[in-house]
Amino acid sequence: MPQHGISADPTDRHGRTRPGAAPARTGPHLPVDSALVRCPHCDARAVRTGRQVACGGCGHVRTAGHSFHGPVQVVVEGRCGSCGRAARREVERPRWPDTVRALALRCPCGTLGSHPVAVYPSWWRNQGTDPVSGLPLWLRADLRGQVVWALDAEHLAYLEGILGGEPGFRPGSRYGTLGSRLPAWIKQARSRDDVLQRLRRLRALLADA
């Protein structure tokens, strides 16, 4: 039976990453071995390296385990113990407690049964969240209902270079062809100046911290 955040395979059959089992990369184009995040204890800048989060402000240190702090998709599925009919439900939640491993589903036949839950990060729907810990990224800024974000200083420099049209800019091998995977709205000419303005704000966050 699937359990919350526990799997030998870090992805499900749809290729979604399971909390607590995130690989070093999410897809071949975005390295997630490290990130700057907001400390869950004091809200200051913290560094997530691998699966460990460390805050230089309050000294808080934790290792990401089965708990994923960000928005999740919860999938409940099983078979009715009375009629054998398959039951399934999907819900979105801003966060999911580790202690909830099963939910009740009522079958059309009227039988109420408890079924195990599988929980997946939905950070791709709510960008600006660290895909490993689920914590809010330190480098994020809102822009007309969208979020401009960067995992760390290197990622920010990459975005500044590729969107700013710097002469001779060549992305390093760490990000490869990430430019082709950027959201279309970011690459649109009418959005570029506003996006670059937000990136400058993120650069200031690095300087102030």
At a CB cut-off of 8 Å and minimum separation 6, what does 95 contact? Answer: 68, 69, 70, 71, 72, 134
Residue 203 has pLDDT above 70, yes or no: yes
Between these two residues, 45 and 186, which has the higher pLDDT value? 45
Overall residue count recorded for the chain in this entry: 209
Whole-number Å distance between alpha carbons of 98 and 120:
12
- pLDDT at residue number 176: 59
Pick 182 or 196 by higher pLDDT. 196
Q: Per-residue pLDDT tens for 139-168?
A: 999 998 888 999 999 889 888 888 887 666
In this predicted structure, the answer to whether residue 10 has a pLDDT above a threshold of 70 is no
Tens-place pLDDT, residues 39-56: 989 999 999 998 899 998
What distance in Å separates the CA atoms of residue 22 and residue 18, rounded to the nearest whole number?
Answer: 6
| Summary mean pLDDT of the chain | 77
The predicted pLDDT at position 49 comes to 92
> How big, in percent rounded to 5, are the helix, strand and coil portions of the chain?
20, 35, 50
DSSP class of residue 20 equals T
Top pLDDT among 170 and 103 is at 103
SS3 180: helix
Considering only residues 177 and 163, tell me which one the structure prediction assigns the higher pLDDT: 163
**3-class secondary-structure state, position 52:** strand
In the numeric block, the tokens 């009418």 are attached to 190
Both tokens of residue 135? 């914590």
177 near 187, Cβ under 8 Å? no
User: In a 3-state reduction of DSSP, which class is residue 162?
Assistant: helix
Return the structure tokens found at 74. 């919860």
pLDDT of res. 119: 81
- Percentage with pLDDT > 70 across the chain: 73
- The span from the CA of 36 to the CA of 49, in Å, is 9
Order of strands across the sheet that contains 86-93: 86-93, 72-79, 112-121, 102-106
Alpha carbon distance, N-terminus to C-terminus of the chain: 45
Q: pLDDT-based confidence at 19, cuts 50/70/90?
A: very low
Q: What is the mean pLDDT of residues 109-122?
A: 86
Q: Which residue's entry shows tokens 């059959």?
A: 13
